Structure 1
Amino acid sequence: MQVDFRRLEHFLKIAELGSLSRAADRMRIAQPALSRQMRILEEEAGTPLFFRHRRGMQLTPAGEELRQHIAGPVRQVRQAFDDIRSRSTEGGGQIALGVPPTVSYILAGRLARRVAQQAPNISLRIVEGYAGHLIDWLQRGEIDAALLYGPAADFQMSVAEILYEELVLVGPASSALHPDKRVSVQDISQLPIVLPSQSHGLRLVVEAAARKAGVTLNVRYEADSFLVLKELVEFGLGYTVLPLSALSREIDAGNLRYASIGHPPILRQLVMGMPREEQLTRSTRVVVGLVRDEIKHLVDTGVWKAQLQY
């Protein structure tokens, strides 16, 4: 059976927008023609792919399964054609980079500016997510590369070491925390703690340090949103552990206080996860290089207090 590639792209756009009319407007296709393409695709699949209702279109379980199978490959084929069409050293097309929220805080805007200046043919899409989600998206091909919490040996994929940075204990403005007064992991275990849920990289790093110290953390609240995590601490509901690079604006504004952790400190490793070498497009290589350049600049200028590994 031959399936039209453009039809699959149309299917993904409708699934993304949840509306036939919005997808038709976005892709500048007549709505009846787009509707006909989806009927043909459903005939080829042998099952309905969308629930149709007055508010739009929603994927059926079969439609969601199809979306998960094809989203990555369709992106990769589109990117390969963009690479071939551009035939230039800087590449072209859209590159999706996955980043944890704490990294996005310090890197996203600065990286986007660097890409715009040095690789204007590339459209950068920054996708925020915690490690478990980023790994899944990367393996399915829905993003092109991702910054992840290490250690590098934990991953069954191509990874490159980027940096190490210390984590700090973060509390509300009313707390007695001070950068010059280090706290121990044992001290942290006596406090109400706010962390992401179990599957996320930051939680794994902090709990590994607690196990090594022979203590159990008193996790009172869980928040899988970086903004909510900081807000709960600002409201005085607990303390959290984060890299200092993710707190600069709140610290400067006096909304949060922090103390260094030690001895020993809790270190977070950052690595770059990528597809296999033969699957890397020219544009992905360019963006990965620009990520390295921007991170090095931030570390060299003291904006990001970390130890580079390259």
Structure 2
Amino acid sequence: MDIRQLGYFVSLFEEGSTTRAARRMNVVQPALSMQIAKLEEELKQKLFERTSQGMIPTSAGETAYRLFAPILRDLSEAKQQVINRSSTVRGRIAVGMVASVASSVLARSLSSFATQYPEVEVSACDGYSSVLMEGVRAGSLDFAILNKGRRRSELPTIDMLDEEMVVVTSAASARQLGSPLMFRDLANLPLILPSKRNGLRLIVDKIAEDEDVELSIRLEVDSVAAIEELVRRSDWVTVLPAIAVGRGLSEGTLRAHRIVAPRVTRQIVCLHNPRRPLSAAARLFIEVMTAELAAGAEILRMPAGD
């Protein structure tokens, strides 16, 4: 097995066609097919099934890709850093983040990062914390930005932001709320919250359990944008980090009310895999996002109910 064979394998896996993979690797199709056959012989596993839809990976092929792709990416990154040995940062990073972060600061972070480091290619996605963590473990993501869970993770984390969660209402709502609110006051409010798969919901549920408060949850919606729109159009309320609904708060269409006794907070962390050290580009991206998160939280730091 050599690096060239692994490159052919990854290309075929990602392209799903020997013709496209050969073109991508700048070789003739028979040469690529021969190297794949040699790799299968060495691994004693069939890696692809030829079908009318193209080359379909077998279960062994799926496993091989999950293991080999990060190795190739790390080698490419290492080679690039040795070659360039200059202040110019180059490379590719794959980052995942929870939707409440992606919807609030991702666009600004990408714009700022691309301006500062134009030679770095960034692939960004959002998803549930459990899915993102699996991506980091498997190597499809270099790191993930998510809410710190109650259980200690076996993967190391970097602290990014501690943020207060608030009760959010429509600025046009006829519902008059005191400010600040006791957590127990939430029991009397018609709530729209994310589903139990969402880390933000787990934070609220844990405090409700500890305080023996039964919440009146009318709707479960995982899209922060949809929750914001529903609250804006109704007398329903939600509990979210202020930064997640920052646009509505800044525009004055939404109103935030602090929660006390106890306060509701979330910790945003960056989770990564110690077996694949963070590249220089990855660390710089984390720095940019941390700064954008802090700036967004500072702008929205306002008197409760304002």
TM range (shorter): 0.7 to 0.9
Matches within 5 A, 1:250-289: 257=254, 259-263=256-260, 264-276=262-274, 279-289=277-287
For the 8 Å contact 2:192–2:227, the answer to whether it is kept is no
Corresponding position of 1:204 = 202
Change (3 A) 1:25 1:102: farther
TM-score normalized by structure 2? 0.78
Shift of 1:93: 0.7
What is the rounded CA distance, in whole Å, between the counterparts of 1:110 and 1:179 in structure 2? 33
For the 8 Å contact 1:210–1:216, the answer to whether it is kept is yes
Shift of 1:103: 0.7
Corresponding position of 1:54 = 52
What is the rounded CA distance, in whole Å, between the counterparts of 2:86 and 2:38 in structure 1? 38
Corresponding position of 2:100 = 102
Q: Which of structures 1 and 2 has the bigger CA Rg?
A: 2
Corresponding position of 1:72 = 70
The secondary structure found in structure 2 opposite 1:12 is: helix
Corresponding position of 2:34 = 36
For the 8 Å contact 1:90–1:286, the answer to whether it is kept is no
What is the rounded CA distance, in whole Å, between the counterparts of 2:243 and 2:71 in structure 1? 35
What is the rounded CA distance, in whole Å, between the counterparts of 1:85 and 1:47 in structure 2? 36
Query: In the TM superposition, what whole-angstrom CA distance separates every residue of 1:11-70 from its partner, at most 9, and x where no partner exists?
Result: 334333444444445555444443333333322332222233222333222222222223
Matches within 5 A, 1:85-164: 85-150=83-148, 154-164=152-162
Query: In the TM superposition, what whole-angstrom CA distance separates every residue of 1:80-104 from its partner, at most 9, and x where no partner exists?
Result: 2222222123431112222211111
Taking only aligned residues, the RMSD between alpha carbons, in angstroms, comes to 3.6
Change (3 A) 1:68 1:272: same
Shift of 1:207: 1.3
The secondary structure found in structure 1 opposite 2:63 is: helix
1:262 maps to a residue whose letter is I
What is the rounded CA distance, in whole Å, between the counterparts of 1:278 and 1:74 in structure 2? 12
**Identity of paired residues, percent?**
31
Query: In the TM superposition, what whole-angstrom CA distance separates every residue of 1:239-265 from its partner, at most 9, and x where no partner exists?
Result: 5432222224456789x7454252233
Query: In the TM superposition, what whole-angstrom CA distance separates every residue of 1:81-131 from its partner, at most 9, and x where no partner exists?
Result: 222222123431112222211111122221222222222222222232222
1:205 maps to a residue whose letter is I
For the 8 Å contact 2:243–2:297, the answer to whether it is kept is no
What is the rounded CA distance, in whole Å, between the counterparts of 1:65 and 1:278 in structure 2? 18
For the 8 Å contact 1:90–1:283, the answer to whether it is kept is no
The secondary structure found in structure 1 opposite 2:239 is: strand
In structure 2, runs of 5+ residues without a counterpart are: none
What is the rounded CA distance, in whole Å, between the counterparts of 2:212 and 2:225 in structure 1? 30
Change (3 A) 1:98 1:120: same
For the 8 Å contact 1:7–1:41, the answer to whether it is kept is yes
Shift of 1:226: 4.8
Change (3 A) 1:216 1:22: farther
TM-score normalized by structure 1? 0.77
- The farther-off stretch of 208-217 and 186-195 is 186-195
What is the rounded CA distance, in whole Å, between the counterparts of 1:217 and 1:26 in structure 2? 55
2:83 maps to a residue whose letter is R
- The farther-off stretch of 18-27 and 169-178 is 169-178
